[in-house]
Structure 1
């Protein structure tokens, strides 16, 4: 979609990367690390200062005290943390349950591991977890359940009740939990709850996160996986043959970022809240059915008022004729039919870009 945006001169509200830069204090920390000669291979599972910063931040956010050397593995972005977790802990034939729609890397990496994938579909308007359907899906072959909260692409935040229900299923059936929490600092309507913090869950949970979304530095690819030692062992076995080590100076800068004052995270949430409101109001004015987004920097909408048969057809029209890029989310489902009426927009753009995109849609889209 980003290539099509360039080809057609369209405004890109598709792929989730900001069109503004990260904070100066983090970039300066990277420059200083390079000047200080921190340019050779890092320790495989992370430079000590970053492992410690991850542990400190996790304690502050979740209340859990962890060992930075034994329970934190630094990876090349959260996508590598996902791959290392799946390849290190899932065997061929293991069953893994996902919630659709899902980040496409999940299914791809599970396929590499030879896993059998089951998907529980979250449906609009609120994308609530169908609890009884989930319970029925757990079998003696289920090795893990994977969650993403706040949730890409829907913007849903799993409720405490949903998380506790999933936790009980994991404990009752001896199932692992893989938690992708990259949007934890973009929770607008309720505090983020880390699955590992629910009683009895830390010992069976891998928590994955990254620098990119919170600090608008997606190109740095700094991520991490937090897990108890018996699970960390598997994650590190895979990690050592995926990337071995992650950029040394960027790890030093990431440590500085994670020690940012609370005011940084408060301002981040406030700024993104304003961007969300700008986009949501514009989408409604343009004629979309807009679904609630409680977290992430994505909004899901229903495009059917405009008369197109599916999301791909609509998104192609949106690029060619309107000059705006969005993502057709049918690619995030095992059954593409489940997503054919939906479209995902991102608001991680400067205000002028969001206004320009909204103006184009209001001017050119017509209900049918």
Structure 2
């Protein structure tokens, strides 16, 4: 008997596998294809010959935990205690999974805002809890009236993703005011804030849950070095939470992975002394702008992208196919892989929208755009 009977192979896996089979340009899965910063690779090359190959403490490599505390302080002016409020995780997804397993019980309800990352729902189901999927507005802003109606005495968590994957939307000050009102009405609700693209925003800087006093005692923040430093294969992330919640999260973490890759932790702890995370937004904004310029003569309609390294596009002027079918044909007939947005909705809402990843080198973007402009 399956515990996840409705869960199938991830759409990201499906599209990447098809891209490989048809030798298509892969703009589907969210991983960069350009070189990692040589300063980081030099650090890890040197560390590989040092004594950093055994278990680190369960919660994380102490120098890295101190660096995370410094990063949060410099980025958001929030003081956190490394020993009690930080956990280094095997990627942000493990942080999300571990948090939900630790804090959600049988019969609880968790509000998930659609379109949503596919790793939110499964851990809720594995807790014998109920995911309550609430759609964002068509412009991807939250409908707080609808969200409030979805909450009840059984609601124990709401998951927010800011900046938002797949849409590239960022939450506003008004959104946080509405969230504060919601939490005042439901004092038992925790917030899981997925902020893995926190440093990848453009015209407007993203507003972190770290900066909101009303959230600090009931919010778990999830971040990703893999996303920030384009080292997704390292699978290194971290969570920040108040001590009373972190105690519970650590209980699950110690039996799930115990401790995270030691050499990666040591390397990132050194790298944080030389890298400027504030330059990431400018770097990816140039990528976004270049990709948009390359597609300006295509028949795709590009939607606003405020953050992340994803561009949502409408193909309504090109085809009446549903978005999954269109993406498969995009691979087989045109040699470019993308992700259908309907797969991020519980009801598979199809608005003729697809997602491209522009975290690619210029040659890849140019080659893909050439094919896309010929459709």
Which bracket does the TM-score occupy, shorter chain normalised? over 0.9
Equivalent in the alignment of 2:207: 193
Equivalent in the alignment of 1:76: 90
**1:30 Cα deviation (Å)?**
2.0
TM-score, with length taken from structure 1? 0.95
Q: 1:148 aligns with which of 145, 158, 161?
A: 161
Equivalent in the alignment of 1:353: 364
Q: Which has the higher helix share?
A: 1
Equivalent in the alignment of 2:8: none
TM-score, with length taken from structure 2? 0.93
Equivalent in the alignment of 1:24: 38
Q: 1:131 aligns with which of 123, 144, 149?
A: 144
Equivalent in the alignment of 2:69: 55
1:313 aligns with 2:329: no
Q: 1:332 aligns with which of 316, 325, 344?
A: 344
Distance 2:44 2:169 in 1: 34
Distance 2:128 2:74 in 1: 37
Q: 1:3 aligns with which of 10, 13, 17?
A: 17
Distance 1:347 1:83 in 2: 27
Distance 1:258 1:165 in 2: 35
Distance 1:339 1:240 in 2: 40
Distance 1:353 1:198 in 2: 39
DSSP-derived class of the 1:27 partner? helix
- Structure 1, unmatched stretches of 5+, are none
Aligned partners of 1:327 and 1:345 also within 8 Å: yes
Distance 2:267 2:318 in 1: 46
1:270 aligns with 2:267: no
**1:226 Cα deviation (Å)?**
0.3
Equivalent in the alignment of 2:9: none
**1:19 Cα deviation (Å)?**
0.5
Distance 2:43 2:353 in 1: 41
Distance 1:347 1:220 in 2: 20
Equivalent in the alignment of 2:264: 250
Q: 2:180 aligns with which of 153, 167, 178?
A: 167
Distance 1:270 1:69, change over 3 A: same
Moved over 6 A (4+): none
**1:281 Cα deviation (Å)?**
2.9
Aligned residues: 360
DSSP-derived class of the 1:305 partner? coil
Distance 2:137 2:335 in 1: 29
Distance 2:201 2:229 in 1: 15
Question: Cα deviation per residue 1:233-261 (whole Å; 9 max; x = unaligned)?
Answer: 11111111111110011001111233334
1:226 aligns with 2:237: no
Aligned partners of 1:62 and 1:193 also within 8 Å: no
Equivalent in the alignment of 2:132: 118
Aligned partners of 2:201 and 2:285 also within 8 Å: no
Aligned partners of 1:278 and 1:355 also within 8 Å: no
Distance 2:30 2:275 in 1: 25
Distance 2:36 2:127 in 1: 35
Q: 2:316 aligns with which of 270, 286, 304?
A: 304
RMSD of aligned C-alpha atoms?
A: 1.3
- Aligned counterparts, 1:205-216, within 5 A: 205-216=219-230
Equivalent in the alignment of 1:99: 113
Distance 1:339 1:85 in 2: 31
DSSP-derived class of the 2:48 partner? helix
Distance 1:253 1:265 in 2: 19
Q: 2:48 aligns with which of 21, 34, 38?
A: 34
Q: Which moved more, 1:300-309 or 1:8-17?
A: 300-309
Distance 2:41 2:180 in 1: 39
Question: Cα deviation per residue 1:285-335 (whole Å; 9 max; x = unaligned)?
Answer: 211121101000001112221123311110011001110000112221111
Distance 1:258 1:172 in 2: 40
Distance 1:67 1:271 in 2: 31
